[in-house]
């Protein structure tokens, strides 16, 4: 809603502002970004029933797959929950560097990795359900032009609604785009992890800070601002659900922001590489392995507060276990 209000304030007085509901699902490609000619073709030709049926069947299978994986992993999390230290993860890591005190077991690392996967699976499952429901709604609009829905909406509203559904179903990015294949921190946060919230953090954190930051530091300050918003949101979710506040969520996202800034600075300071060198298969594999190892050893920083609060038996990670 903040993004919608921000966009509405920037409109001219004569500009038409669509209702808030049309602005939902911000991570998808907006219908306004689809070429006008393409929009007209989509409205005139529509999506065939056969194409919709194939789409629905595919996402039913995908939805069922993620549901089974989610239920299985969630049961594992509940059955084998480890005893997590009350000392925050980064402090234990610092103690390990100074005196060699073990900071985490291999099982806990594995457990936290599975926990993060369960969060992905649960959100993907919910998103798949949304896609299936939207598919049926679009099919209903096409098959029953005289329905109450079609008659109550004006032509412009109905066209906008159709484009909204088509854009969501056929022009959207996946909410999670195989994060385990990330090649670097930039790829992970910008292209593969939670595309819905990414837009929120960019609009409310990254972009506003650009206008009053020194030119050379704009991007760095913007990244810090975006991850600050993310950290505050996750601290709020944890505190509101369990009255638990340690600032581990906030510091985790600041650490990720610093890593991302250092990575971008390091990459930009190097000489440009050839395309062939960048796309070398062995280097891709090396980068993917590096990112997975980095994720395995940093995920506990984010996950341990939820494990202490017994959030392992949930559909969404901020719903407290009964």
* pLDDT one-digit tens code per residue, 171-217: 888 888 889 999 999 999 988 888 878 878 887 888 788 777 676 77
Is the confidence at residue 160, as pLDDT, over 90?
no
Burial of residue 235, with CB atoms counted within 10 A of its CB: 0-12 exposed, 13-18 middle, 19 or more buried: buried
In a domain, 26, yes or no: no
Does residue 273 lie within any of the structural domains?
Answer: yes
Give the count of domains, the chain: 1
- C-alpha–C-alpha distance, residues 75 and 224, integer Å: 36
Q: Which domain holds residue 235?
A: 49-308
Assess if residue 288 is contained within a domain. yes
Query: Which two structure tokens, joined as six digits, stand for 70?
Result: 């989610």
Q: Which of 88, 131, 106 is nearest to 248 (CA)?
A: 88
Model confidence at 282, in pLDDT bands (50, 70, 90)? Answer: confident
Please report whether residue 13 resides in a domain.
Answer: no
102 occurs within a structural domain: yes
19-38 residue pLDDT tens: 665 555 555 555 556 766 67
> What is the average pLDDT score of the chain?
82
As a whole number of angstroms, the distance between CA 206 and CA 188 comes to 17
In a domain, 191, yes or no: yes
Statement: the pTM of the whole predicted model exceeds 0.75: yes
- Residue 124, both tokens: 């993907």
Determine the Cα–Cα distance for residues 275 and 230; give it in Å rounded to an integer: 34
Residue 43 within any structural domain of the chain: no
Q: Could you tell me which residues come within 8 angstroms of residue 242 by beta carbon, excluding any fewer than 6 positions away?
A: 309, 311, 320
- Owner of token pair 């598919």: 135
The mean-pLDDT minimum among 5-19, 55-69, 181-195, 274-288 falls in 5-19
Q: Is residue 41 part of a domain?
A: no
Neighbours of 183 (CB within 10 A): 18
How does DSSP classify residue 49? Answer: H
């Amino acid at each position: 809603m903040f993004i919608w209000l921000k966009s509405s304030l920037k409109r001219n007085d004569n500009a038409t502002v669509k209702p808030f509901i049309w602005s939902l699902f911000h991570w998808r490609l907006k219908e306004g970004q689809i070429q006008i000619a393409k929009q007209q073709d989509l409205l005139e030709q529509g999506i065939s029933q056969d194409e919709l049926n194939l789409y629905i069947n595919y996402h039913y299978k995908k939805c069922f797959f993620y549901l089974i994986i989610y239920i299985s992993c969630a049961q594992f999390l509940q059955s084998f929950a480890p005893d997590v230290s009350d000392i925050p993860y980064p402090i234990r890591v610092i103690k390990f560097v100074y005196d060699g005190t073990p900071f985490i077991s291999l099982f806990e690392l594995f457990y936290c990795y599975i926990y993060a996967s369960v969060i992905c699976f649960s959100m993907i499952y919910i998103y798949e359900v949304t896609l299936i429901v939207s598919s049926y709604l679009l099919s209903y609009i096409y098959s029953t032009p005289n329905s109450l829905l079609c008659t109550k909406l004006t032509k412009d509203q109905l066209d906008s609604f159709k484009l909204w559904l088509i854009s969501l179903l056929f022009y959207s990015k996946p909410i999670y785009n195989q994060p385990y294949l990330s090649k670097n921190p930039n790829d992970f946060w910008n292209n593969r992890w939670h595309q819905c919230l990414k837009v929120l953090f960019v609009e409310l954190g990254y972009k506003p800070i650009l206008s009053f930051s020194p030119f050379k530091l704009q991007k760095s300050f913007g990244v810090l601002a975006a991850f600050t918003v993310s950290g505050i949101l996750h601290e709020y979710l944890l505190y509101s659900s369990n009255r638990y506040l340690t600032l581990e969520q906030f510091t985790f996202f600041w650490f990720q922001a610093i890593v991302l800034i250092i990575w971008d600075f390091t990459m930009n300071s190097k000489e440009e590489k050839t395309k062939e060198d960048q796309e070398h298969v062995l280097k891709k594999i090396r980068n993917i392995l590096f990112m997975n190892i980095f994720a395995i050893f940093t995920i506990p920083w984010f996950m341990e507060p939820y494990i202490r609060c017994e959030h392992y038996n949930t559909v969404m990670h901020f719903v407290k276990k009964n």
